[in-house]
Chains A and B, each alone.
Chain A
Amino acid sequence: MGFVICGLAFISMWHQIQSNRTRSIFLVIGMGILLAAVGFGIGYYFGSGTAGLVIAMLIWAIMSLIGYFQGDSILLASARARKINPEDHPRLFNVVEEMKIASGLEKMPEVYIVDDPAMNAFATGRDPKKASVAVTSGALQNLNRDELQGVVGHEMAHVRNRDVLLMAMAAVLLGTIVMLSWYASRFMIFGGMGRTRRSTGGGAGAIIIIIVAIVLMILAPIFAQLIYFALSRRREYLADASSASYTRYPEGLASALEKIAASTEQLKSANQATAPMYIINPFRKQGMSAQNLTSTHPPIEDRIRILRAMGGASYTDYTKAYQQVLHTSKVFIPPSEAAAVGIVALRHAQPETAGKLDEVERTRETNNALWNAHNFRIVQCPCGTKLRLPPSYKKSEIKCPHCGRINPV
């Protein structure tokens, strides 16, 4: 029996090594080593490598703490996301709750809307108990219920798989590397060669090391970014697979991705560091299909084709479709998870009698939610017009533009 258990332990360890999570951790460790090298390089240039290393680690530790406790609010604020209540947008709230139930998350995440015509969504929060999901108003207007469900399911999977925390921590590492190298390279280039550096030996050897340090300062941020993007790409397929298994309807996500890919709107409030948090890369170029090192997400066409090739809704089905579409034998989903669910049948599209909305109604619904989120007041004019006043409107009465009546506020 001991043998059996040892054997099992060995097999599961082997699978773990093969699995995605371990590779993600290696990538993060790689970024950590890069940060250490940058810190040491800067320190060496100014006299003490060890001191530089310690300072770099200190900065990183402080930024990690901020990222861990404040990361979600910083991200939500920088994306200009507005928190909404259930009555502001019942459909979105219901869909989020449905996916919360399907994914077995213990706590309902907070729901945010980003006022932006581009279609996108992201999730944030340090653990499954404290998470937020944000959806752009563009997505709410253009996606039907099944599609919205697929998108929210994808985001919920990021929360459930703890990608959100992993990516936030990786973003902090990246930020530290970029910041340190930026300041250090400015110092080294414009601060004068070795002005602040004590003469520690000198000679050809020292000059070579200084040149290496400068090259490192220039290359480190680029490498860190490439690692960061590689990390992000790996998590996307897994989140797609999870979304399909939650909704049992991969076509929903596939058609949402198709709609998003077809739109030409670009998200205004995203930057390079927050890009991997979104469901698709907000900076994608039209017609870009080749998977390259600088993309945060796998090619959207591949993701759609894999979802459409699924014969069932389980992780095993996704893996099969993935191997078939991309012609590889790679397994990226931990077999422990793949085995947890047996045969899973797909379901049909939502019955359309239930809450079918067209685009006009969806737009009205979304605008109402946004107005509520921005604390607009409503004045009902006797002529039937609804006047919406921004919170900055301070006068005590308003003239109806329709009938000319003066209404008290």
Chain B
Amino acid sequence: MIALWIIIGIVVILIFVFVGIYNGLVRSRNQVKNAWAQIDVQLKRRHDLIPNLIETVKGYMKYERETLEAIIKARTLATQAASAGPAERGKVEGELSSALNRLLAVAEQYPNLKANETYTNLQEELASTENKISFSRQFYNDAVMGYNNQIQMFPSNVVASMGGFKQGEFFEVTVPEEKEVPKVQLT
């Protein structure tokens, strides 16, 4: 009789533990989803800023056709990949980042452009959006790491495999040819 009660007790405890771990996993998965939405907002914001930037810069940079076209192309690719997964988006957004960096570096040679108020405002917005992308990426990757740890570690890995929880994907913006972007020295 006592043995039966002990078994029932253990089963009840196990159910509680299971429910607790399961809910924890759901919470982490939602956190990852939410963090991804934050990145999405910032990436969209950057896509929206680019037409303005091109419009402002065009008049000053007549001889930089290639640089401008590279940005427009990278932006089109990036907007097309808007619903893709983190790995795919990381790649196209990286292309866009490097095209933008090139433009900002070239713009340094146009003093008239640098004095344009619209341009300086846009520059602040772009710099800040760039920061927001990297901060939301940082937060997202931390959330993914916590979630993946839960999925891999005992005892939550048992619950995760039963509940069909899949590992999250990290988001890295891979900027190609980063070394060629001219760096301006700190003064």
Contact = CB atoms under 8 A, between A and B. Distances in A.
Contacts of B185: 352
A290 interface: no
Interface in A1-30: 1-2, 4-5
B124 A355 contact: yes
Contacts of A246: 135
A354 interface: yes
B17 A5 contact: yes
A191 interface: no
Contacts of B186: 349, 352
A101 interface: yes
B174 interface: no
Interface string B104-141: 11011000000000001101111110111011101100
Interface in B172-187: 183-187
B126 A354 contact: yes
A90 B17 contact: no
Contact of B138 (A95, A248, A342, A352): A248
B142 A1 contact: no
A340 B146 contact: yes
A101 B127 contact: no
A91 interface: yes
Interface in B70-124: 101, 104-105, 107-108, 120-121, 123-124
B132 A97 contact: yes
Interface string B145-187: 1100000000100000000000000000000000000011111
Contacts of B42: 101
B26 interface: no
B130 A101 contact: no
B127 A341 contact: no
B13 interface: yes
A1 B120 contact: no
Given A90-B121, A90-B125, A352-B184, A98 B135 contact: yes
Contact of B142 (A95, A340, A352): A340
B56 interface: no
B8 interface: no
Interface string A178-208: 0000000000000000000000000000000
B125 to A, nearest CB: 7
B184 A98 contact: no
A353 B124 contact: no
Nearest to A354: B127
Nearest to A98: B131
A91 B17 contact: no
Contacts of B127: 145, 350-351, 354-355
B17 A1 contact: yes
Nearest to B108: A353
A1 B128 contact: no
A99 B135 CA distance: 8
Interface residues of B, number: 37
B121 to A, nearest CB: 7
Interface string A329-354: 00000000000111000010111111
Contacts of B121: 90
Nearest to A145: B127
B38 A97 contact: no
A355 B123 contact: yes
B13 to A, nearest CB: 6
B10 interface: yes
Contacts of A97: 128, 132
A90 B127 CA distance: 12
Contacts of B130: 354
B139 A104 contact: yes
B132 A355 contact: no
B14 interface: yes
Contact of A1 (B14, B101, B139): B14
Nearest to A93: B128
Contact of A98 (B17, B126, B128): B128
Nearest to B35: A104
A347 B134 CA distance: 11
B120 A101 contact: no
Contacts of A304: none
A90 B121 CA distance: 9
A353 B105 contact: yes
Which of B35, B105, B123, B142 has the largest number of chain A CB atoms within 10 A?
A: B142
A354 B135 contact: no
A197 to B, nearest CB: 58
Contact of B139 (A94, A101, A350): A101
B132 A342 contact: no
A291 B13 CA distance: 50
17 contacts: A2-B10, A90-B124, A91-B124, A91-B128, A94-B128, A95-B128, A97-B132, A98-B128, A98-B135, A101-B136, A101-B139, A102-B138, A248-B138, A340-B142, A351-B127, A351-B184, A354-B123
Interface of A: 1-2, 4-5, 90-91, 94-95, 97-99, 101-102, 104, 145, 246, 248, 340-342, 347, 349-355
Q: Which 10 A-B pairs have CB atoms at the shortest separation, nearest pair first? A: A354-B127, A94-B128, A102-B135, A355-B124, A101-B135, A355-B127, A98-B131, A101-B136, A352-B184, A353-B104
Given A353-B107, A354-B123, 5 more contacts: A101-B132, A101-B135, A104-B139, A246-B135, A354-B124
